[in-house]
Amino acid sequence: MPLSDENLVLRFQAGDQDAFEELFLRYRDKAYALALRMLRHPDMAADVVQETFLRLCKGLRRFRGEASFSTYLYRVVSNLCMDEIRRRQRGQQVSMSVSGEEGGRQREIAGGLSDPEEELVRKEYARRVEEALGRLPEDYRLAVVLRDVHGLSYEEMAAVMQCPLGTVKSRLSRARGMLRDILTEMELLPPGHVKTGEGRETR
The residues in 121-180 that bind other proteins, with binding defined as CB under 8 A, are 121-122, 124-126, 129-130, 133, 144-145, 147-149, 151, 154, 169-170, 172-173, 176-177, 179-180
The amino acid present at 69, given as its one-letter code, is F
Written as one string, the DSSP assignment of 47-116 is HHHHHHHHHHHHHGGG---SS-HHHHHHHHHHHHHHHHHHHHHHH----TTTTTHHHHHHHHHHHTTS--
Least gap, CB of 90 to other proteins (angstroms): 26
CA distance 20 to 63: 13
CA distance 33 to 158: 20
Q: Which of 108, 103, 6, 107 is nearest to 60 (CA)?
A: 6
Question: Site mask, other proteins, residues 80-99, x = CB under 8 A?
Answer: --------------------
Q: Which stretch binds other proteins (CB under 8 A): 25-33, 75-83, 92-100?
A: 25-33
Contact call for residue 186 and other proteins (CB under 8 A)? no
DSSP-derived letter for residue 66 is: S
Asked if residue 186 lies in contact with residue 131, where contact means CB atoms within 8 angstroms, the answer is yes
Contact call for residue 38 and other proteins (CB under 8 A)? no
Least gap, CB of 4 to other proteins (angstroms): 4
Task: Using CB under 8 A, pick the residue from 59, 104, 112, 137 that binds other proteins.
Answer: 112
Contact call for residue 65 and other proteins (CB under 8 A)? yes
Contact call for residue 104 and other proteins (CB under 8 A)? no
Q: Which stretch binds other proteins (CB under 8 A): 47-55, 76-84, 93-101?
A: 47-55
Asked if residue 74 lies in contact with residue 146, where contact means CB atoms within 8 angstroms, the answer is yes
Task: Using CB under 8 A, pick the residue from 16, 83, 101, 201 that binds other proteins.
Answer: 16
Asked if residue 171 lies in contact with residue 157, where contact means CB atoms within 8 angstroms, the answer is no
Compare residues 86 and 187 and give the one whose CB is closer to other proteins. Answer: 187
